[in-house]
Structure 1
Amino acid sequence: MKNGIDTVHSLRQLFSSSEEEQRRIAVASLIKLSFSDIREMLYEAMGDESWRVRKEALEVLYRYPIEDRVIEDMVGLLRASDNAGLRNSACEALEKFGEKSVPVLSRYIDDEDHDVRKFVIDVLGNIGSQEPVPLLIRALRDEDPNVSSAAAENLGKIGDPRAVPELVAVLDRGNISLCYTVLEALGRIGKPVPVETVIALADESLLKKPLIDCLGAIGDVEVVPFLIDGLREKAKHVRAAAASSLLMIREGLSRELAHEKIDAQLRGFAGTDFAREFISAITETEKHLSEPLIRILGLLGDPAAAMLLLEGCRDDRLRGGCLNSFREIGAEGLHALIRAYPESDDEQKCYITYICGELGCPESANILREGMKSRSHMLRRVAVIAAGNIGSAEIIPDIEPLLDDDELDVRVGAVEALGRLVDKDRIAVERIAADLSTSPVPEKRRSSTSLYAALRSTERLARLIKDEDANVRTAAVFSLAELKDPASVNHLVMALVDEEPNVRMAVAGALGEFGGDFVVQPLMLALKDQNQWVKCAALRSLGALRVADAEPAISELVANSEGIVLIAALKTMLEINGESAKRLCIKALEHGDSEIVKAAVEILIHIDDSWLDDQSDRLLFHDQWDIRSIFIKALAEYRGAKALPLLKAALERETDDLVRRQLTDLLGEFT
């Protein structure tokens, strides 16, 4: 006992330091002592000015048994009105204790201190137990407005339907703050309430948003007219809430009912003052569109929204929704964009062009032709890609010149566009591909491989696999792999002796895409290639095909290889034979290369846990910290609390801070 007191005295001196780290270390060291010896200092640390010290104090607290006495202490700390950090720490601890805190907290829900009552209610709500719901219902009528609002808020968090009638009963427009919180709570619970009672509050401007949010959660088709009317609101946050709630109700309806009660009504407003006012209000007040508003604009179906949706396309997150809304609006929306094109700047033209292309608008052909001749290379690229999407053979002659564009991304876009138009004019694309394949420029010959892939011309690609340029040959290999035509296998096999490693590597990877016994022998030969990347590609293909006959050759590679080839061989063996992979990986644990050891451990973890005990001494105390960390994680996952003796032994010898933290966390979890 005396030694404990002396230690606490020493730690208290350290805790008195002005240095944050010294205080944190002192608190962390308290775990070695009995709770009765450290209680006072630990609670003091929970109110330290440093959040790191407070966090450390809580971590220490959680290591000790949770008794009612400790819970009572935490409630007592809620009275520390002059120390917000201490109060927050106490609340965090009570929430961490969970259901065990509920009986003690329930005794303080009527405490004479209104701040304590509020904190207790907040903690109970965050715990989420339904046990104290009757007490929280009673607190709805607490004389302190903060307490009653907290009761409403936390009844919403808990979500117990028993609270619904009591929440409705306290909807008193004389207490706007409470009504606001009650409406939010009713929305969170999501159970039906008398709608007329809620809508009766609509004339209170401060309650419009929570009221509309609430109706979205609890309402049905009967509130649709009210929500549609909410789209007229001048306040943008109310308007946005109406859009969100309308869509929420729509999602809960059948397709037929949604069309009848919502879609048809909104579509009926297209071209009316309602639509013009709605679109104008958004244009004037919204700096950034939201997904619900974009969806409503689509359902409204008014082409006047086209420019709004065009602006929305600038945001990557909203672009898909804007495109869907253009689909809802139909051709008139796209025609509005086409009319706006001449007066638009280059950036706007890019988005107009993109939208027309994505929606396959053939009427946009003329602006696409203009865009493909623009000085802006970005617009030329967007226009040529869009030209491939509108499905018009007549635009092929306008695409072809861009194969000679100064910018690479435009040239690539032209090839992509032509590939998509194969079904519209195969003869024209074949002619262009033939011209490219005989060009003296390697890049053009490489581009022809993409077109021949779209044309599914194995014969032409087989010729290009013999091209004088290695990049062309590689591209031809990838295109053949894309087609997966068994007739091309012989051509690929011949390319396994190509002078360029990149070509051979591409072939080894391509053969794995085919499958079948006819690719096994070539892949086995590729394992003897002099280039390590070719070997790795062949190994990946053999693994993907799970070729059992490759096991002896892979074992030989493991025995005679280093680095990435050895790691790839171990991974491939795992795909083919788990037991053989385990044997080879256990042997690899003795390797001098830490990367190989790490890879072996990671593979073994995927197999089973039979190797853990035999390898614990080697890996728990390995020279490399990351290997120790991986093994510790595996040990904890497989063994759980049974690993405690080994984890404690490892902690005593561990020098790396990250691994020590990992071990400390695991020990705390298991004890």
Structure 2
Amino acid sequence: MSAEAEISRALVSRDPEERRRGVSRIVELPPSSRVAPLLSALGDDDWRVRKEAIGLSEELGPEPELLTALVHVFDPGDNVGLRNAAVEALGGFGGAAVEALAPRIAKLDADGKKLAIEALGRSGEGAALDVLRPLVSDEDPNVRVAALEALGAIGGQRVESARALLMSRLDESRPLETLAALESLAMIGAGLPFSTVERWLSDPLLGRPSLLLAAQSGDPKAAPPLLRAVSSSHETEPVCALAEYVGVSELARGAAATELARVGERAESALLGWLSRRDGDVVGVRASLTVIGALAIARGAPAAVGWLPDPRCYAEADQALFLLGAAAIPALLSGAQASDAETAAACLDLLGRLPSDTVTPEVRRTLSAALAASSADVVRAALGALTRVGDSDCMAELVRLLADAALVSSAEPALIAVSQRFPEDALSFVQLGSLHGSSPHATALVIAALGPRGKLTSLDSAELSDFSLRLLMSTSHEERRAALLALGALTSPEALDAVRFALADEEPAVRLEAVRTLGRLKGKDQSSVGVPALLEVVAEARDSALLLAALRALGDSSDPRALPVLGPLVRSSDARVAVAAVEALSRHADSRRLSSLFDGLHHPEPEVVKASMLAIAAEPDPRVVVHLGACLDQSAWDVRRLAADLLGRATSEASAALLRARLSVEQDPMVKDALSRALESSGQRRSRPPRRPQGDV
């Protein structure tokens, strides 16, 4: 039996699962034979079969025969499942669906038009707006409403055109159309003046979308109705609108805070009431948390702490508590003692991120006490916080944790950071005569912390180097790595041979630190004595992590011996290597590096091209503008956008001419916006778009 016969047989089976498996085999057929079985599957009685067929349609893409067949599904018919599946399938074809529907949609009946309109809305294509334009005034009211709703789905790509079209359909004599238009205006962020929507705020039907549009206006006059709505309604829309309003501008936030202080406790209690809900719907909770943080409602801090363990609300709860700052400290201190490790860790992390002038001794004591917690996550959170705000009182505990293999990677940066803030106290932990216990590890970290800051002058440099070299022979790979950190901070050239030997260490982290240390060793004339060894690492290229680290170290060295090696690597097929080579070259002062950086502009990987563009952008060489202009023709939209941004900083007629030329042909809306901004920032734009109206529309 042929494959076509097997598939046909499977598609008429009584077993839905067999039919679904048959759909997955349609891809085996030639394109000309796929349409009929695929349409049959799209109209199947079982939703699983239809879903499989929709997925296959997206996989096959907008093949001409399939497109034509799907469009004809919108002709009069009674297979509702097929028509709905066709909407979903066509919507996934984007611009191809718009092109296929455009010449046919006017010939469809009202039901067919509504389905086609839904597919256009699903397409996500701004070009669909031109197809929808005549349909907003169709003779059938349901078609008009559907077209207005679809504009909300695709209008965000052409806001001004969609805004004008939707505004033209605001008519109180047609409330359903006005409702659809207002909802779509809110969806696209149309930015209507408050005075335009104010008259509909009390309307039972139009009030909800009008409230959101009032919030989007950012007008101080919108604050009173927004807070009244929050106080008098248990629905999510008012609190969501207020959350959007306080984020529009500082002016809007200030107006909301002033109004909240005026109306008293009722609105504040309504906001806090959302945080006591545990009914599963967190949309209102998230909005309320946003408002509580923005308006500094300190009473909300304990409830906000209670939402930290919920991943759906963590971001808003964290931001609210952070904005509350010192006012949130009592709630955070209480939360840090919670039996739930997730809550405790989140509170400790927040305490460490508060402004340093708000961190009290009690906060630091709480952070230090948490280092003895049974949960490793809690201890790591405390270590992270102490890295930022810890004082010398916690140093002994940090040294103790260096012996804990599960926590050492978090304890090390904490000890280094605290040592840098309190160098005199840190020096008391330097014990050069001992290689036992946690003492040598701590000594090496203190040397690494204080060496670059010139805080080791009271100690003999030879003894420091000798200690670090002896520690490099430790059986602990963590101590060997710390020894390399110390040797890098001391920059002593006598350590070169020992560091080169560490390149063969059995532990990858030690080998990686050895490469970094090679880049830090300096001779008496401040030359980079480790460059030859780094060049060997690059030449061998046996380990990608070591190779990338060596390239960064060569960049930091600014040694001219690195140029002949870095240049060819800009063309590496490995984008990571090419980007690292570009960034290394950008840190060299030798003008010869420019030719290699120009080579990077022709790399097939956009990330390499962008790195090269950033590397050359500030160079005074006249060739730079020409090369950046050529990048405006790159196929990758993000490359073109970056080229526009960089040319906008050039403020020359040559760069402006390149920007204008590209703007005349550019299709991508984000790139067009970047081109326009670049021309305006350089003062070279010859014509400006009309200003958005500020008064009544």
Shift of the alpha carbon at 1:310?
Answer: 1.6
Number of equivalent positions: 533
Partner of 2:417: 420
Contact 1:422 1:455 (C-alpha < 8 Å) held by counterparts = yes
Distance between the aligned counterparts of 2:579 and 2:203, measured in 1? 71
For 1:211-360, what aligned pairs fall within 5 Å after superposition? 211-218=210-217, 220-250=219-249, 255=250, 257-258=251-252, 260-266=254-260, 268=261, 272-284=265-277, 288=282, 292-315=287-310, 322-338=317-333, 340=334, 344-345=338-339, 347=341, 348-359=343-354, 360=356
Is residue 184 of structure 1 aligned with residue 183 of structure 2? yes
Of 306-315 and 89-98, more deviation after overlay is shown by 89-98
Of 148-157 and 473-482, more deviation after overlay is shown by 473-482
Q: Which amino acid is 1:541 matched to? A: A
Shift of the alpha carbon at 1:153?
Answer: 0.3
Output one character per residue of 1:98-125: Cα deviation in whole Å (capped at 9) or x when no partner: 443354334235x2xx422311332344
Partner of 2:664: none
Shift of the alpha carbon at 1:490?
Answer: 3.3
Shift of the alpha carbon at 1:334?
Answer: 1.4
Distance between the aligned counterparts of 1:285 and 1:418, measured in 2? 41
Distance between the aligned counterparts of 1:238 and 1:292, measured in 2? 10
Q: Which amino acid is 2:304 matched to? A: L
Partner of 1:597: none
Higher RCO (Cα < 8 Å, 6 or more apart) = 2
SS in 1 for 2:518: helix
Shift of the alpha carbon at 1:400?
Answer: 1.3
Give the structure with the larger helix fraction.
Answer: 1
Shift of the alpha carbon at 1:89?
Answer: 2.5
Contact 2:520 2:530 (C-alpha < 8 Å) held by counterparts = no
Q: Which amino acid is 1:297 matched to? A: I
Q: Which amino acid is 1:279 matched to? A: L
1:407–1:276 Cα change, 3 Å: farther
Distance between the aligned counterparts of 1:271 and 1:48, measured in 2? 59
1:29–1:466 Cα change, 3 Å: same
Output one character per residue of 1:134-165: Cα deviation in whole Å (capped at 9) or x when no partner: 422213x635xx43431320233353233234
Partner of 1:507: 514
Shift of the alpha carbon at 1:169?
Answer: 0.5
Which TM-score applies when normalising by structure 2? 0.61
Output one character per residue of 1:518-549: Cα deviation in whole Å (capped at 9) or x when no partner: 323334566899xx968983796268638896
Contact 2:245 2:253 (C-alpha < 8 Å) held by counterparts = no
Shift of the alpha carbon at 1:440?
Answer: 1.4
Contact 1:478 1:510 (C-alpha < 8 Å) held by counterparts = yes
Is residue 488 of structure 1 aligned with residue 492 of structure 2? yes
Contact 2:345 2:382 (C-alpha < 8 Å) held by counterparts = yes
Pick from 82, 85, 105 the counterpart of residue 82 of structure 2.
Answer: 85
Shift of the alpha carbon at 1:261?
Answer: 2.8
Distance between the aligned counterparts of 2:57 and 2:112, measured in 1? 22
1:236–1:295 Cα change, 3 Å: same
Q: Give unpaired runs (5+ residues) of structure 1.
A: 1-6, 555-566, 577-602, 608-636, 639-671
Distance between the aligned counterparts of 2:299 and 2:241, measured in 1? 21
Contact 1:465 1:473 (C-alpha < 8 Å) held by counterparts = no
Partner of 1:150: 146
Is residue 479 of structure 1 aligned with residue 474 of structure 2? no
Contact 1:118 1:150 (C-alpha < 8 Å) held by counterparts = yes
SS in 1 for 2:130: coil
Contact 2:293 2:323 (C-alpha < 8 Å) held by counterparts = yes
1:149–1:284 Cα change, 3 Å: same
Distance between the aligned counterparts of 1:11 and 1:452, measured in 2? 75
For 1:39-118, what aligned pairs fall within 5 Å after superposition? 44=40, 47=43, 50-51=49-50, 52-53=52-53, 62-64=62-64, 70=68, 74-75=71-72, 77-89=74-86, 92-93=89-90, 97-108=96-107, 111=109, 114-118=110-114
Distance between the aligned counterparts of 1:8 and 1:344, measured in 2? 63
1:461–1:346 Cα change, 3 Å: farther
Q: Which amino acid is 1:169 matched to? A: D
Structure whose CA Rg is larger: 1
Distance between the aligned counterparts of 1:142 and 1:279, measured in 2? 46
Shift of the alpha carbon at 1:187?
Answer: 1.3
1:204–1:344 Cα change, 3 Å: farther
Pick from 469, 472, 479 the counterpart of residue 474 of structure 2.
Answer: 469
1:274–1:162 Cα change, 3 Å: closer
Contact 2:54 2:85 (C-alpha < 8 Å) held by counterparts = no
Is residue 447 of structure 1 aligned with residue 442 of structure 2? yes
1:504–1:153 Cα change, 3 Å: closer
Partner of 1:667: none
Contact 1:349 1:379 (C-alpha < 8 Å) held by counterparts = yes
Distance between the aligned counterparts of 2:368 and 2:209, measured in 1? 51
Distance between the aligned counterparts of 1:47 and 1:369, measured in 2? 65
Contact 1:354 1:386 (C-alpha < 8 Å) held by counterparts = yes
Shift of the alpha carbon at 1:9?
Answer: 9.7
Distance between the aligned counterparts of 1:301 and 1:270, measured in 2? 16
1:53–1:513 Cα change, 3 Å: farther
Shift of the alpha carbon at 1:453?
Answer: 1.5
1:116–1:320 Cα change, 3 Å: closer
Distance between the aligned counterparts of 1:190 and 1:492, measured in 2? 61
Distance between the aligned counterparts of 1:59 and 1:341, measured in 2? 49
Partner of 1:585: none
1:507–1:415 Cα change, 3 Å: closer
Q: Which amino acid is 1:164 matched to? A: L
1:213–1:29 Cα change, 3 Å: same
Distance between the aligned counterparts of 1:330 and 1:543, measured in 2? 38
Distance between the aligned counterparts of 1:535 and 1:282, measured in 2? 49
1:218–1:413 Cα change, 3 Å: closer
SS in 1 for 2:231: coil
Output one character per residue of 1:468-502: Cα deviation in whole Å (capped at 9) or x when no partner: 4142663235414764x6x3343133332358454
For 1:122-141, what aligned pairs fall within 5 Å after superposition? 122-125=118-121, 126=123, 128-139=127-138
Contact 2:499 2:517 (C-alpha < 8 Å) held by counterparts = no
SS in 1 for 2:309: coil
1:501–1:226 Cα change, 3 Å: same
SS in 2 for 1:232: helix
For 1:582-621, what aligned pairs fall within 5 Å after superposition? none
Output one character per residue of 1:401-448: Cα deviation in whole Å (capped at 9) or x when no partner: 46336855566655544433335532221112338x72512x542233
Distance between the aligned counterparts of 2:374 and 2:73, measured in 1? 73
SS in 2 for 1:130: helix
1:273–1:446 Cα change, 3 Å: same
Contact 2:101 2:116 (C-alpha < 8 Å) held by counterparts = no
Shift of the alpha carbon at 1:168?
Answer: 1.6
Contact 1:31 1:60 (C-alpha < 8 Å) held by counterparts = no
1:235–1:9 Cα change, 3 Å: closer
Q: Which amino acid is 2:107 matched to? A: Y
Which TM-score applies when normalising by structure 1? 0.63
Distance between the aligned counterparts of 1:206 and 1:124, measured in 2? 26
Partner of 1:120: 116
Shift of the alpha carbon at 1:305?
Answer: 1.5
For 1:622-633, what aligned pairs fall within 5 Å after superposition? none
Q: Which amino acid is 1:147 matched to? A: V
Shift of the alpha carbon at 1:290?
Answer: 5.2
Is residue 541 of structure 1 aligned with residue 545 of structure 2? no
Shift of the alpha carbon at 1:306?
Answer: 1.5
Distance between the aligned counterparts of 2:345 and 2:56, measured in 1? 55
Shift of the alpha carbon at 1:63?
Answer: 3.8
Partner of 1:648: none
Partner of 1:210: 209
Distance between the aligned counterparts of 2:120 and 2:336, measured in 1? 62
Distance between the aligned counterparts of 2:434 and 2:114, measured in 1? 81
Of 540-549 and 298-307, more deviation after overlay is shown by 540-549
